[in-house]
Structure 1
Amino acid sequence: MQRARLLRRSGHALLALLATIATLILGTGTAFAQIPIGQPMTGRMTHYNDRGYGACGTQIDPTTQDLVAVSAAWWTAANPNNDQLCAGISVEVSYGGKTITVPVRDKCPSCASTHIDLSETAFQQLAPLGTGLVRDITWKFVGSGGGDPDPAPPLPAPAGRTGRSGATTAPAPDA
């Protein structure tokens, strides 16, 4: 009897510990990092053409729409549909003397924090599709109006993931 009671107490304590650990790891679904609006970053770009639902919960077609998938490191909500990135945030990208602004509509789970994955139509405005991976681009998050509304203080880029998950037609970036 005492042994059963001890096992039951141990089981409850273990469940409470696991729940605490899960909360710390997964968070509560609120933002952990501020999106650095207006802070220029140097990185790389690739392109993709996977049609379907983007991380913001809307239908996307990267072969006909200008849009961008940004690193999973920038997504902060447990449900990406509710993420601040889906609330009118765009990315302004500059390369080769050209600049475009495209809305964030998708997540690139395998992109490093300064690597963006553009739709084919957006990528073609800056470089030929055959280029695949383009290094040394400049990009920044901007508000839906394209400007730098009340820029956030500079933050270091979060540690991102490297490699590709097959979501792009471009070659895999260097690790």
Structure 2
Amino acid sequence: MTGPRLLSPRWLAAGGAVILAAVLGVAMLLQNTGAACAAPPSTSAKSGKATFYDLGSGMGNCSYPSAPADDLFVALGPVEYSAGAACGTYLDVTGPKGKVRVKVIDSCPECPAGHLDLSRTAFKKIGAEVAGIIPITYKTVTTASAPSPISVRVKEGSSQYWLAVLIDNHVTQLKSVTVNGKTTHRQAYNYWEIDAGAGSGPFKIKITDVYGKSATVSGIKLSPGATQKTTVRLSGSSSSGSAVSSRVSPSTAKKATPKPTKSSASPSAAPVVESTSAAPDEAALATEQPTEEAVDLAGAAASCG
């Protein structure tokens, strides 16, 4: 397991510790007052700042096996990452040189609301790399086109007694995932878990987003570590829609090395990655404060039902 994203000593010396404490306080409010109720994210444009980092050979906190093929992705601070709820969604980010669309695949524990940590590739599309930190505006996109249909990855260590699945290519924020009719709960590292398991499969998985749109995939095998592709899409619309279904083709499910049967206890903590973010100007970061949007988000999370 990789270590946590490291904070820059220069950032902390510039007052980042105080700001971080404030941001984490808001994040705790979100976690303790109903972030899991999955209210639709705001699509209004927000102002902020962007830095960049290199993911390297690791994976982001959203646990996707690899970065997007176009290398356009972003890490969000605790408030906007929302305990994994933002994973798989897209943002349009506009900077001094233009606009870029990025996928949320990671968290940035030291980033206040409004501070996006972009991939180096994404950053260079909208700003000069030498700047290190640039002003931006950004907004959530609900009509992005997924690069491929929904895929399901069964977590390593899963068995008939404990199951965790990762859903990818859904585009919009997810509200719930059920497996063979059983309710799952989302972890901050983006897997949906059933502590008591769902049997030995195959599994029928229903995916519902925060706008009421749903899709059902069936024939998912209990193949830990395998990413299984489907022909179902859940993207391009924020309106309610009927469920659709598809069976996974046997040829698309990778064979996985058999794993020992796991008890009902869940695995170790969520994987995290180190950041190689470019060190931003400490004076600029020292003046960053949680935005009004962050406070509004905390209130919305507390009141959604």
Indicate conservation of the 8 Å contact 1:67/1:118, yes or no. yes
* Alpha-carbon shift at residue 29 of structure 1 (Å): 8.3
Indicate conservation of the 8 Å contact 2:38/2:85, yes or no. no
**Aligned match of 2:129:** 129
The percentage of aligned residue pairs carrying the same residue is 32
Which of 270, 278, 291 is matched with 1:169 structurally? Answer: 278
**Aligned match of 1:70:** 76
Letter in 1 for 2:285: D
Provide closer, same or farther for how the CA distance between residues 76 and 39 of structure 1 changes in structure 2, counting only shifts above 3 A.
same
Structure-2-length-normalised TM-score: 0.37
Question: Distance in 2 between the 1:109 and 1:98 partners?
Answer: 27
Letter in 1 for 2:139: K
Provide closer, same or farther for how the CA distance between residues 143 and 127 of structure 1 changes in structure 2, counting only shifts above 3 A.
same
Letter in 2 for 1:57: S
Structure-1-length-normalised TM-score: 0.61
Letter in 1 for 2:121: T
Secondary structure of the 1:174 match is helix
Provide closer, same or farther for how the CA distance between residues 60 and 133 of structure 1 changes in structure 2, counting only shifts above 3 A.
farther
Secondary structure of the 1:58 match is coil
Instruction: Using CA pairs under 8 Å that are at least 6 residues apart, name the structure with larger relative contact order, 1 or 2.
Output: 1
5+ long unaligned stretches in structure 2: 1-28, 146-235, 240-273, 287-305
Question: Distance in 1 between the 2:30 and 2:98 partners?
Answer: 41
1:92 to 2:97 alignment: no
1:55 to 2:41 alignment: no
* Alpha-carbon shift at residue 25 of structure 1 (Å): 9.3
* Alpha-carbon shift at residue 27 of structure 1 (Å): 3.9
Indicate conservation of the 8 Å contact 1:35/1:74, yes or no. no
Residues 99-155 of structure 1 show CA distances to partners (whole Å, capped at 9, x for unaligned) of: 1111000101111100101000000101121110112x11011126167947xxxxx
**Aligned match of 1:18:** none
Structure with higher Rg: it is 1
Provide closer, same or farther for how the CA distance between residues 31 and 75 of structure 1 changes in structure 2, counting only shifts above 3 A.
farther
Provide closer, same or farther for how the CA distance between residues 25 and 129 of structure 1 changes in structure 2, counting only shifts above 3 A.
closer
- Tell me the C-alpha RMSD between the 2 structures: 3.1
Letter in 2 for 1:66: L
Question: Distance in 2 between the 1:27 and 1:141 partners?
Answer: 24
Question: Number of matched residues?
Answer: 130
Letter in 2 for 1:71: G
